[in-house]
């Protein structure tokens, strides 16, 4: 079994933003040479997430509107009163709710995503420079 690890570097441009990273993951998969296996896409940032979603620009906006409705950034949150940490407790809560990784099957050298699915990086406390780790494990067809 082959194990390939790479890093995607991105720069978010807004406080809250969806960034479709499917193309970067597919490029890394092609570089790995793995034909059948799995790809794990992970972010170690505590104010950002990785998830699967429908590749639709309006739904991206709706997603952040929904999260902002569900998670209000209250000034009474203790984390918001820690000085240098910023007033970003809501970003941490959103990241916890959405999650920090996805696992996608690899079949015949392609990510086995649904017809409308995409891999998204969700920024909740930008703009920032961010890292996404991608680990691909598997082998050639039938191995």
5-31 tens-digit pLDDT: 999 999 999 999 999 999 999 999 999
H-helix or E-strand containing 63? helix 57-70
Query: Which helix or strand (DSSP H or E) is residue 102 part of?
Result: strand 101-107
Annotated domain spans of the chain? 2-139
Dist. CA 16–CA 14, nearest whole Å: 5
pLDDT of residue 86: 74
For residue 90, give both structure tokens: 């809501």
Walk along the chain (143 residues) and give the pLDDT tens digit of each residue. Answer: 999 999 999 999 999 999 999 999 999 999 999 999 999 999 999 999 999 999 999 999 999 999 999 999 999 998 888 876 679 999 999 999 999 999 999 999 999 999 999 999 999 999 999 999 999 999 987 65
Using DSSP's 3-state secondary structure scheme, residue 44 falls into coil
For residues 122 and 33, is the Cβ–Cβ distance under 8 A? no
Q: In this structure, which CATH number among 2.60.120.460, 3.20.20.30, 1.10.1060.10, 3.10.105.10 belongs to the domain 2-139?
A: 2.60.120.460
pTM: 0.94
């Amino acid at each position: 079994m082959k194990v390939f690890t790479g890093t995607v570097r991105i720069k978010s441009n807004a406080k809250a933003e969806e960034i479709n990273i499917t193309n970067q993951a597919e490029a890394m998969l092609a570089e790995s040479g793995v034909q059948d296996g799995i790809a794990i896409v992970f972010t170690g940032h505590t104010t950002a997430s990785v998830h699967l979603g429908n590749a639709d620009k309006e739904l991206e906006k709706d997603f952040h509107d929904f999260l902002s409705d569900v998670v209000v950034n209250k000034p009474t949150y203790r984390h918001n009163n820690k000085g240098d940490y910023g007033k970003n407790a809501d970003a941490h809560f959103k990241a916890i709710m959405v999650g920090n990784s996805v696992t996608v099957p690899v079949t015949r050298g392609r990510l086995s995503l649904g017809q409308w699915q995409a891999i998204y990086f969700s920024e909740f406390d930008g703009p920032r420079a961010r890292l996404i780790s991608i680990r691909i494990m598997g082998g050639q067809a039938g191995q």
